[in-house]
Amino acid sequence: MIAPSTTTIVKRDCYPSPILTIPAELLVSILGFLDSRSLLRCCSVCHHFDLVIESYAELQYNIELTLDGMVDGFPGNLSVSERLQILRNRRRAWYSLDWDQHLVVPMPGSCQAYELVGGVFAKTMSTGIGGNGSRHLITSWLPSTINSERVVVRKDIGLPTRDFAIDPSQDLIALVQADDDDDFHFLLPGLLQVHLRTLSTNEPHPQAGSVVLRCAVMFPITNAFIQIVDDVIGMMFWAEPQGPRITLWDWKSGKFLIVSLLSMSCQISLHYIVSQDRSSLQLPSGTWDFSFLSSRAYMLTCTAGQGSIEIFTFADETRNDSTTASIGALPVHVASLLLPPVLPGVHLMNMHTHTGPFAARCPVGKPFATANHARIHVVSIQYARTGCLRLIDSPRFCLFVHNRTLMSYIHQRKERGGSAVTVPWNKWGPLQTQFMHQREQFQWLRYVQGCRVVLPISYHVAGSTVQVLDFNVCRTKRQIFEEHTASSADSCINTDGTHVGMGNIFQAPVITLMPYRVLSRGELEEYNGVMIDDERLIGLKVRFHT
């Protein structure tokens, strides 16, 4: 027999944990160092933690910023409680499409090129006097519930330009110089030049390593577009008969990051580029469009075969110290994500991609802004059957995919190493995308902001209807309570998936299951187009568009 122990048995719950005796204000300061996911985990630890986190605006603000895919900005004179209330009011307004104001902002003159970033709308206007470049620029800081409108008109910016990009958070505008002596081409053979100016003064940007970025071109350029992501400027342009090319610069050093060669389907060789810059790469066959995933990664859309999304990186995306791009380093091909298999005789006519703008930081005067990583990519695809000329034989579809889905392949490659992977559609598409018919074509860009997409207005039904798709569906109590409030919009969440039949295009029905919210509201006025940013829907009325 074992004698009974004389040790006093003490129940663990007789004495509270020392951490529970910490004053609430000190506990809040400690919890303030945690990210939002860790805060939510702490809510599950005990009732005391849950009560503290739910009771303090500082902690709720961090959680709800992440919920909405936002980052903190410049508070100014606003307290945390006031910023939290603004955030909640804006979330409620987006869920109901109830806007606070309906304002008209005149933008006189024609529109040759335009941009919408961080609440700033800018456009160039052709003078109609020779050439295809514009020297006229209007920049409007759009009105909001916090800030009033401000407009700057520059009748002559000092050079003819056909396209441009802006990042108001860096006070940066990148102007692509056009050939002022040619009415038919964007630029004749010679030098492609990108001028780096301040958006506020039109002076050379003080942080630019070189105020003019240059790239040699051998053939006339017929089209081009430019993007800014933090310290990187990327440009895709088409030269005849060369095809598409991509050039990336580190604009703060003025150095090339990447200079693409021809698509592998082109037979012309430009070996001189290789000898000048070892960062040259050959584009995949059928390259059609280009978009950044981050400041160190990008994607290409390719129409070859059944179509694919090609993912590249030109720096280590998984390292915390990757603050500067590798000058002259070849980009790394990470993955090829294949589209749904098609029937024999079917090919892709085009494959455009679009996402919201990037900003290096939250623009001054805004309490918060959309996080760069929280974004949806919209891929517009048109198919055709060989020998068929009818429009019904050339259907259009939209593919919606989260940025985090594409970026996950970069992180996976870091873990496994090796060469690029080819991922069949059934291994990635059904669970991580939405694939649906495209009823109307997108005529104007900037229809994506974060995880929201505003669809083209349809005039085929009585009245015009604005429709917004929201792919940030969390189903938390902070979102669900909104569904029972009065709303000006029809709202529903699609969790059942989308079914696209085979038709005469696909080898099998295309079924995708990524959830999304649909918001629809009828409009009394007709617009030529509609754009979106983090706090506005912008209807466009134009007489003509060059």
* pLDDT tens per residue, range 345-403: 999 999 999 999 999 999 888 899 999 999 999 999 999 988 776 666 789 999 999 99
Residue 269 lies in a domain: no
Instruction: Specify the pLDDT at position 203.
Output: 97
Residue 12 lies in a domain: no
Residue 369 lies in a domain: yes
In angstroms, what CA-CA distances link 21 with 17, 24, 111? Answer: 7, 9, 64
CA atoms within 13 A on the CB side of 250: 17
Same domain for 369 and 336: yes
Same domain for 352 and 294: yes
Residue 378 lies in a domain: yes
- Residue 256 to residue 260: CA distance in whole angstroms: 11
Q: Which of 276, 307, 289 is nearest to 243 (CA)?
A: 289
Residue 267 lies in a domain: no
pLDDT tens per residue, range 200-211: 999 999 999 999
3-class secondary-structure state, position 485: coil
Work out the percent of the chain whose per-residue pLDDT is above 70.
82
Alpha helices in 321-456 (DSSP H): 403-416, 425-432
Same domain for 168 and 132: yes
Q: Which two tokens stand for residue 284?
A: 């995949």
Q: 34: exposed, middle or buried (C-beta count within 10 Å: 0-12, 13-18, 19+)?
A: middle
CATH number at residue 360: 2.130.10
Q: Which of 166-175, 229-238, 410-419, 423-432 has the lowest mean pLDDT?
A: 410-419
With 60 as the cut, is the pLDDT of residue 452 above it? Answer: yes
Instruction: Specify the pLDDT at position 146.
Output: 77
Residues 236 and 290 sit within 8 Å (Cβ to Cβ) = yes
Q: Which of 458, 321, 455 is nearest to 400 (CA)?
A: 455
With 80 as the cut, is the pLDDT of residue 446 above it? Answer: yes
Same domain for 148 and 44: no
Residue 511 pLDDT class (50, 70, 90 cuts): very high
Residue 529 lies in a domain: yes
Query: Which range marks the domain in which residue 307 is found?
Result: 111-262+279-315+329-540
- Which of 36, 65, 96 is a domain's end point? 96
Instruction: Specify the pLDDT at position 412.
Output: 93
Chain mean pLDDT for the chain: 84
Same domain for 479 and 384: yes
- Residue 451 to residue 463: CA distance in whole angstroms: 27
- Which of 96, 120, 152 is a domain's end point? 96
- Which of 96, 119, 149 is a domain's end point? 96
Residue 14 lies in a domain: no
With 70 as the cut, is the pLDDT of residue 332 above it? Answer: yes
- What would the mean pLDDT of 459-488 be, rounded to a whole number? 70
Residues 242 and 261 sit within 8 Å (Cβ to Cβ) = no
Same domain for 532 and 504: yes
Rg value, the chain, Cα:
26
Same domain for 371 and 311: yes
Same domain for 477 and 334: yes
Same domain for 192 and 92: no
In angstroms, what CA-CA distances link 310 with 167, 283, 285, 290, 291? Answer: 26, 10, 11, 10, 11
- What would the mean pLDDT of 391-419 be, rounded to a whole number? 91
- Residue 232 to residue 324: CA distance in whole angstroms: 9
Same domain for 288 and 153: yes
| Domain count along the chain | 2
